[in-house]
Amino acid sequence: MIKTSKKGKMMKYNPKKLFAITSLSIAFGALALASVPPQVFDFIKINEALKTSLDQTTTDLSHVEKFNYSIDATNTNVAEDQYLFNFSGTLKDVPWSTSSVSTEGTLGVNVRPEGKEGMEFKFSKTTHTDSVELSKYLSNIVLNIPVPSSLNGIVRLQVELKRKLAQKIVTTRNLSELKYLLESHLIEMENATRNYINDLNDSLDVVFGSTLLTYVADQKVKANQVLRAIQSASIRESGDGFKFSTPGFSYDEFLSIKDVNVEFQKDKISVAGVLKVNTGEMLYDAAKPEIVRWLSGLEKGDVYSSELTKADARIWLSYGEMLLKKFDDR
């Protein structure tokens, strides 16, 4: 049985705040306390300092064998608030495989893209492992996370359908079966969403009161957004596997995702996309002087900046280790 908390419940959290905090922490490291004006950096020295610091963070971890990230000097401009990070790592003794698992990717951060408010995160990641076994492991996690009783409407419908898909994936045997399950899932989601929209339309004849009418109208908007996202998605063959693609969709007025591509090959899974958050730029502005000091300290070999890098990496790597142990059914 996969482990859960003693009370069998997941901790509540605000996903928007968690996303903003996590993205900034991973991208910029721990923050110092002084203000330094923007400048041109020697990223060769900075990346050497990052590697030296990060090599010391995995010595006694159970699952993380190696971890490193660096800053792409060609595509990073601190003065214009644009960053590109390259990362790589190796996991060992993972629940879904007897072999080690390597991963690499990039994270691009653009503050106020095209002069608009918010932040944009362009990501790509490839994980080298048995894609079917990893999919089964992730599906098992989905099935062991309780569904909040507060969920309702189109959101609850999506969650229930995804759990239904997860129940099927945990018994799949190969990529062909996985592809068929995902194709069937898209069809089922489209039909269920259409039926939900029809039910909402029918309810307008019997619903009374401004509160209920507002709720139905809001549900219709969200359901139609979901329907358009489903209809724009595609699954096609790619190499020996297949690729899932969608132009994207909006979660709400604050968070959207676009240009999503997930490719399944026998020995790897690749994920790419762009996340747009219509907030966070003020948090970045407040942090920027400290970010600049952190980079300057790494460039000069400052011990404090090095220790901050190690401490921040240690926090997130330990968190990852905790999740792997929590959802380990071996």
Does 259 fall in a domain?
Answer: no
CB of 270 closer than 8 Å to CB of 263: yes
**Rounded Cα–Cα distance for residues 117 and 71 (Å):** 24
The answer to whether residue 54 sits within a structural domain is yes
Under the banding of pLDDT at 50, 70 and 90, the label for residue 24 is low
Asked whether the beta carbons of 266 and 240 are under 8 A apart, the reply is yes
- pLDDT at residue 237 is higher than 70: yes
Query: Taking each helix axis from N to C terminus, what angle separates 210-232 and 153-169, rounded to the nearest 10 degrees?
Result: 40
% of the chain with per-residue pLDDT over 90: 68
Q: 108 pairs with which residues across the strands?
A: 84, 122
Q: What residues make up the domain containing 325?
A: 1-129+267-330
Cα distance between residue 198 and residue 192, in whole Å: 10
Assess whether 108 and 155 both reside in one domain: no
Predicted local distance difference test score (pLDDT) of residue 17: 53
Q: What is the mean pLDDT of residues 6-31?
A: 49
Residue 330: per-residue pLDDT:
74
What's the number of domains the chain is made of?
A: 2
Kindly state the average pLDDT of the residues 185-203.
Answer: 95
- Same structural domain, 72 and 162: no
Q: Is pLDDT at 36 greater than 60 in this prediction?
A: no
Average pLDDT over residues 283-294: 92
- Exposed (0-12), middle (13-18) or buried (19+): which is 188, by Cβ within 10 Å? middle
- Tell whether the model's pLDDT for residue 209 goes beyond 80: no
**Residue 258 forms part of a structural domain:** no
Query: Residue 33 above 60 pLDDT?
Result: no
Are 285 and 225 members of one domain? no
Residue 155 and residue 239 in one domain: yes
For residues 48 and 99, state if they share a domain.
yes
Q: What is the mean pLDDT of residues 272-290?
A: 91
Same domain for 75 and 143?
Answer: no
Residues 132/173, Cβ–Cβ less than 8 Å? yes
Q: Could you tell me if residue 253 is inside a domain?
A: no
Name the residue among 120, 165, 157 with its Cα closest to residue 138.
165
Q: How many CB atoms lie within 10 A of CB 242?
A: 20
* β 268-277/119-128 pair status: antiparallel
Euclidean distance between CA atoms 197 and 244, whole angstroms: 25
pLDDT band at residue 202 using 50, 70 and 90 as cut-offs: confident
**Reported pTM:** 0.82
Residue 93 in domain: yes
- Residue 92: is it exposed, middle or buried by C-beta count within 10 angstroms (0-12/13-18/19+)? middle
